[in-house]
Amino acid sequence: MSNLKKWKTLKSKMVLEHYWCQVRQDEIELPNGKIIDDYFVSIKPNVAMVLPITSNREIIFVRQYRHAGGKFFLELPAGNFDPAKESAEVAAIRELKEETGYIPQEFIKIGTLYDKPSKDTNQIHLFLAENVSELGEQRLDITEEIEVVFIPVESVLEKIIQEEISVAGTVAALFLGLNFIT
């Protein structure tokens, strides 16, 4: 049994409330009694992420520019969602359709991860979509310009090693999801 203790929140206030970014400042008391009055927490929405695999054993990725990283990244289809308005599963299927134009025949949840629990509040809900098929065209948001990329399952590990696939959530989903592939 562990003797670890949770931190105690003494006060909280929102210091930035914008549609794209919310930051909370907490005053906390550590288990050793030390007070930290400026612990900042980023309030982020949950994410639904899909590992889509075609009947030809190709994984569908999206390549898009990410401004904070300053370059193009290969990622699994994913997007934010509000659990009060839709489930993680519904959001994942919606994001897959919007970003790639594909839909799954088989769909299972493979895990829930915390993105960065030291400073961020969100979770990443991971799904495996097998035997995906093309439904139609992409329906992208105003900030999205996405190229759909097909990579054989057998090539994915090498692309991670070569850092062609380097987004943490995508890499985690791949390592977890590849254990479920039939």
Q: Are strands 123-130 and 46-53 parallel, antiparallel or unpaired?
A: parallel
What is the reported pLDDT for 136? 80
Kindly state whether residue 34 falls inside one of the protein's structural domains: yes
If asked whether residues 54 and 94 sit together in one domain, one would say yes
Give the residue-averaged pLDDT of 116-132: 95
Q: Which structural domain range is residue 36 located in?
A: 8-43
What is the reported pLDDT for 181? 78
Report how far residue 53's alpha carbon sits from residue 166's, in angstroms, rounded to the nearest whole number. Answer: 19
Report how far residue 73's alpha carbon sits from residue 65's, in angstroms, rounded to the nearest whole number. Answer: 6
Q: At 8, is the pLDDT very low, low, confident or very high (cuts 50, 70, 90)? A: very high
Residue 159: C-alpha distances to residues 1, 49, 90, 101, 152 (Å): 41, 19, 29, 24, 11
What is the reported pLDDT for 145? 83
Q: At 90, is the pLDDT very low, low, confident or very high (cuts 50, 70, 90)? A: very high
Reduced to 3 states (helix: H, G, I; strand: E, B; else coil), residue 65 is: strand
Report how far residue 148's alpha carbon sits from residue 68's, in angstroms, rounded to the nearest whole number. Answer: 21
137-150 pLDDT, tens digit per residue, is: 877 777 778 899 99
Kindly state whether residue 182 falls inside one of the protein's structural domains: no
If asked whether residues 33 and 52 sit together in one domain, one would say no
Residue 129: C-alpha distances to residues 15, 60, 67 (Å): 39, 10, 28
If asked whether residues 91 and 25 sit together in one domain, one would say no
What is the reported pLDDT for 169? 94
Give the residue-averaged pLDDT of 156-167: 96
Instruction: Write the CATH number for 116.
Output: 3.90.79.10
Kindly state whether residue 2 falls inside one of the protein's structural domains: no
49-74 pLDDT, tens digit per residue, is: 999 999 999 999 999 999 999 999 99
Query: In this model, does residue 157 exceed pLDDT 90?
Result: yes
Q: Which pTM was predicted?
A: 0.90
If asked whether residues 85 and 137 sit together in one domain, one would say yes
Q: What is the 3-state secondary structure (H, E, C) of 90-134?
A: HHHHHHHHHHHCEECCEEEEEEEEECCCCCECCEEEEEEEECCEE
What is the reported pLDDT for 31? 96
What is the reported pLDDT for 75? 97
If asked whether residues 52 and 102 sit together in one domain, one would say yes
